[in-house]
Structure 1
Amino acid sequence: MKSIIFEQTGKPADVLKLADVPVPEPGPNEVRVKVIASPINPSDIMFVQNLYGIRPQLPSGIGFEGVGRVDALGEGVQMRTGMRVSFTSVGTWSEYAIAHQRGLIPVPDAISDDVAAQLFVNPFTAYAMVQDSGVPEGGWLMLTAAGSAFSKVVIQLCRMRGIKTIGTVRRDDLNDELKNLGLTEVVNTENENLPARIKQITDGNGVACVLDAVGGHTATEAIKCLAKGGRMLLYGLLSLQDPTINAGLLIFRELTVKGFWLTDWMRRVDSHTRQDVAQNVIRLLSSGQIQLPVEATYSLEQIAEAVDHAHRPGRWGKVLVKI
C-alpha cells in the first residue's frame, strides 16, 4: 500500500516521502481502516519536527485523524466492516491505517467526508476548551490566531452560547469572514496595542479567558488582557517561543495559566463526558451549525505541495490529503 512516512525529523516538505509498505493487520481490539481523507493539522507538522507531545518512532507514519471505512477487524472487536468512521491513529496519510476500536466514531450520512475527516482534533478541542474556559453567557473570551480552523470552531460555539469573543490577527483579509462566523471584535496585533485595545473593548475589565496558540510575544501581551481571576489556556506554540510570565500579574490579579492537550483531556474525563462531547459535536456538524471549510485537497503523491500549502498564511479552510 502507499503511505507517507519519514525516516528523520525535520521540515515536512523535505523529509516526508511516499513509500510502498505492507498492508497492516489489526491486533486485538483494533480495526483496519481504508482511509478516505485526512487533514493536515499543526500537530502533524510539529510531530514531524519532533516538537510534539509524543515523539515519533522512526521510521514513522504521519497523520493523527481521518475518515474511512472499517476494512478488517481484530480479535475482540464486535462491529461490522464497511462502516464509515472518523478515527484517530498515527499514520492516517496512508491507504490503510490501524485504529483502536475506542478511537472510532461512526459518521452519520449527513456529515460529508470532508467534514468527517476533521471531526476529532479541532471540534473536540474547541468544545472541551470552551467548557474548561468557564466563561459565562455575556462574558468575554479572547483567541489568539483567530483565523485558524480551530478558532473558527470556537467562535461558532461561543456565538451559540452567548459568549462574546475577541480574536487577534496579523492580517485583515479574513476579518469579514470571522465577523460573519460570530466574532465580536478583531484586534490586529501588527498595528494595535493589544492590552490597550482590550481594555477599551471591555470597559477596562479585561477578558475572563484567553485561548492561546501562539506563545512568545503574543501570549506575553495576552496575559496582560486578563481580568482579575482570569485564566489563560495554552494549547499551541506556533511562534516556537515561550511567553514571558509576569509574576506580579499572576499574584495580584490572581490569574491562572495552564496547558491544554486534547490527548490528556480525553484520558482524564470519564466515558460519559467523552460520549457527551462526541454527540454534541456530531449534532452540530450534522445540522450545519458548525462549519469546517476545506480550502484544498491533495493526493498522497502531492504531499510536499500539500504541507507547504497547509503552512501558508491567510488560509480560509483546512487542507486535506485525499486517498
Structure 2
Amino acid sequence: MQTVRFSAIGNPTDVLQIVETSLPEPGPGEVRIKVLASPINPSDLLFVQNLYGILPELPSGAGFEGVGIVDKVGEGVAMRTGIRVSFTATGAWSDYTLANQRSLIPVPDSLSDEVAAQLFVNPFSAYAMLEESGLQPGQWVLLTAAGSSFSKIVIQLCKLKGIQTIGTVRHNELDDELKAMGVTAIVNTEKEKLTSRVKALTEGKGVACVLEAVGGNTASDALKCLAKGGTMLLYGVLSLQNPSFNVGLMIFRELTVKGFWLSDWMRRVDSQTRQNVARNVLTLLVGGKIQLPVEATYPLSDIKKAIEHSEQPGRHGKILVKSNQ
C-alpha cells in the first residue's frame, strides 16, 4: 500500500513523500480503515511544519481526518468490518490507516464520501465554537478569513440561528458564494478600514464575538471591533504573525480573548455533549442545511499538487485526496 510520510520538519511540498509499506495491523481498541477520501486542512500542513499543538514523531504520517471502510478490528473492538465511517487519525493520507475506535462515526448512506471526509474538523469546530461563544439571535459575529471552509460553515449555521455575520476577505472572488450562504456583510480589508466598517454596520455597538484565524494586524484590528464585554476566540494564525493587543481597550471594554482547539474541547466536555454535537452536525448535513463544497480531488500520488492547490486563494471548496486503491 501507499502512504504519505515525512522524516523531517519543513514545507509540506518539500518534505512529504509517497512511501510503499505493508498493511498496518490494528492493536487493542484500534481498527484498520481502507481510506476512501481525506481533506487537506490547514492543521494538516501546520503539523508537518511543527507549528501545531501535536509534536510529530518522525517519521510520521500526515492528514488528520477522512472517510473509509472498516477493514479489520483489533482486540476489544465491538464493531463489524465493512462499515463506512468518518475517522480521525494521524496518517489519514494513506491507502489504509489505523484509528482508535472512539474516533469513529458511522456514516449514513445518504452522505457522499466527499462530505463524510470533511465531517469532523471543520463542522465540529464551527458548531462547538458557536456554542462556546454564547451568541444569541440578532447579535453580530466577525469572521476573519471568511472564505475558508470553516467560516463558510459558521456563516450557514449563523443564518439558521438568526445571528448576523461580518466576514473579512482580501479578494472579492468569493463574494457571491458567501452572500448565497447567508453572510450579512463582507469587508475587503485590502480596500476598507475594518474598524470603521464594523462600527457602521453595527450602529456603533461593535460585535459580540470575533472568530479569529489570521493573526497579525487582522487580529489586532478585529479586537477593536468588539463591543463591551465581547469575546474573541482564536483558532488559527494563518499569517504566522502574532497580533498586538491594546491592554487598555481590553480592560475598559472588559474583553475576553481565549484560544480554541477542538481536540482539547472534545476532551473537556462530557460524552453527552460530544454525542449531541455529532448528532446535530450529521442531521444538518444529511438534511442539506449545511453544504461542504469540494473544489477538486487528487489521487494520493499527487499529494504535492493537491497541497499547492489547497494553498491557492479564492478557492470555492475543499481539496480532497483519494486512495489509489
Q: In 2, Cα distance between the equivalents of 1:133 and 1:215?
A: 19
Q: In 2, Cα distance between the equivalents of 1:145 and 1:41?
A: 14
Q: In 2, Cα distance between the equivalents of 1:316 and 1:248?
A: 39
Q: In 2, Cα distance between the equivalents of 1:283 and 1:172?
A: 32
2:180: which partner in 1?
A: 180
Q: Deviation at 1:122?
A: 0.2
Residue type of the partner of 1:159?
K
1:70: which partner in 2?
A: 70
Q: Deviation at 1:309?
A: 0.4
Q: Deviation at 1:295?
A: 0.3
Residue type of the partner of 1:223?
L
Q: In 1, Cα distance between the equivalents of 2:257 and 2:64?
A: 27
2:18: which partner in 1?
A: 18
Secondary structure, aligned partner of 1:200: helix
1:247: which partner in 2?
A: 247
For residues 81-116 of structure 1, give each alpha carbon's deviation from its aligned partner in whole angstroms, at most 9, with x where no partner exists: 000000000000001111111100000011000000
| Length, aligned pairs only | 323
1:61: which partner in 2?
A: 61
1:297: which partner in 2?
A: 297
For residues 108-141 of structure 1, give each alpha carbon's deviation from its aligned partner in whole angstroms, at most 9, with x where no partner exists: 0110000000000000000000111111100001
1:317: which partner in 2?
A: 317
1:119: which partner in 2?
A: 119
2:35: which partner in 1?
A: 35
Q: Deviation at 1:47?
A: 0.5
Q: TM-score, normalised by structure 2?
A: 0.99
2:266: which partner in 1?
A: 266
Q: In 2, Cα distance between the equivalents of 1:60 and 1:106?
A: 26
Q: In 2, Cα distance between the equivalents of 1:273 and 1:97?
A: 28
Unmatched 5+ stretches in structure 1:
none
Q: In 2, Cα distance between the equivalents of 1:226 and 1:131?
A: 18
Secondary structure, aligned partner of 2:98: strand
Q: In 2, Cα distance between the equivalents of 1:139 and 1:294?
A: 30
Residue type of the partner of 2:199?
K
Residue type of the partner of 1:164?
Q
Residue type of the partner of 2:276?
D
Matched, 1:96 2:93: no
Q: Deviation at 1:23?
A: 1.1
Q: Deviation at 1:293?
A: 0.5
Q: Deviation at 1:52?
A: 0.4
Q: In 2, Cα distance between the equivalents of 1:204 and 1:321?
A: 45
Secondary structure, aligned partner of 2:108: coil
Q: Deviation at 1:22?
A: 2.0
Residue type of the partner of 1:252?
F
Any residues of structure 2 matched to 1:103-182 within 5 Å, and which?
103-182=103-182
Any residues of structure 2 matched to 1:188-227 within 5 Å, and which?
188-227=188-227
Residue type of the partner of 1:192?
E
Q: Deviation at 1:21?
A: 1.5
Q: In 2, Cα distance between the equivalents of 1:303 and 1:9?
A: 17
Q: In 1, Cα distance between the equivalents of 2:301 and 2:103?
A: 27
Q: In 2, Cα distance between the equivalents of 1:43 and 1:238?
A: 10
Q: In 1, Cα distance between the equivalents of 2:7 and 2:280?
A: 39
Q: In 1, Cα distance between the equivalents of 2:134 and 2:186?
A: 22
Secondary structure, aligned partner of 2:280: helix
1:7: which partner in 2?
A: 7
Secondary structure, aligned partner of 1:54: coil
For residues 39-82 of structure 1, give each alpha carbon's deviation from its aligned partner in whole angstroms, at most 9, with x where no partner exists: 00000010011100001111100000000000001110001100
